[in-house]
Structure 1
Amino acid sequence: MRIRQGQFSFLPDLTDDDIHAQAQYAIDKGWAVSVEWTDDPHPRNTYWEMWGHPMFDNKDAAAVVFEVNECRKEHGGKYIRVIAFDASHGWESIRMAFIVNRPAEEPGFRVVRQEGEGRSVRYTIESYAAQRPEGQRYA
């Protein structure tokens, strides 16, 4: 199962040139670009591990591609994404996020049913990867 999160998730994997173009777009808009990684891509896991520091004053997208490739060397078997943060008044949030690296095997999710009092039924999503300890989920 292929995880569908962020922009471009239904497209084929992005090349370094594609990443450069998208990062340059974000930089031209004045957004701070960051690289993050995780081994738990649950849709509600919004806090991924940050790779390096946010690139607030970066004017060249080649630095973003460099950081992505450095992160791939260390965490190549995990999910890596690029995010762009808009600090302008009224937004102060992420304007763009896309996955740039995936593990070879993506186990996906399952729906867990929880029955409560009476006829109360709740459903939640659980990642198959989370069944293994952190650090052993992918590579």
Structure 2
Amino acid sequence: MLPKICGRAAWVFQEPNFDIDLIVGVDHMKTQDIETLKSACMTDYDPDFPRQVSEGDVIIGGKNFGYGHPHYPSCRALRALGITAIIAESFSPGFYRGESSNGYPLIECPHITDVVTRWQTITFDWHTEKLTIE
């Protein structure tokens, strides 16, 4: 049985069609160094993001999350910072195929952006497919 996912909503992307490359910035699309990727992760949105996240946190996304070219550095950076899953209203098909084949948990949950705010604790039980928000 898969373990439950339990962590805080480290960020909530409200916008549809979010381009995953923006998480580390297009300047880092060819960067392989994980420490560089971690230090750049989400800093265009919150300069303190890499220092604020904790192991187990999740990212919340809107409709068609991951739109654009399915580059891997952004999710490598998220994983390295401890982000254990992305929960979105829906995913771009290319992003979904690429990241799920890399073993990254991607969970679709319609209207999630309507009910979650940043730093709320979220638990997802794979067995019951139940998501709870505290």
TM-score by length of 2: 0.29
User: Comparing both structures, which one devotes a greater share of its residues to strand?
Assistant: 1
**Structure of greater Rg:** 1
RCO higher in structure (CA 8 A, sep ≥6): 2
User: Comparing both structures, which one devotes a greater share of its residues to helix?
Assistant: 2
TM-score by length of 1: 0.29
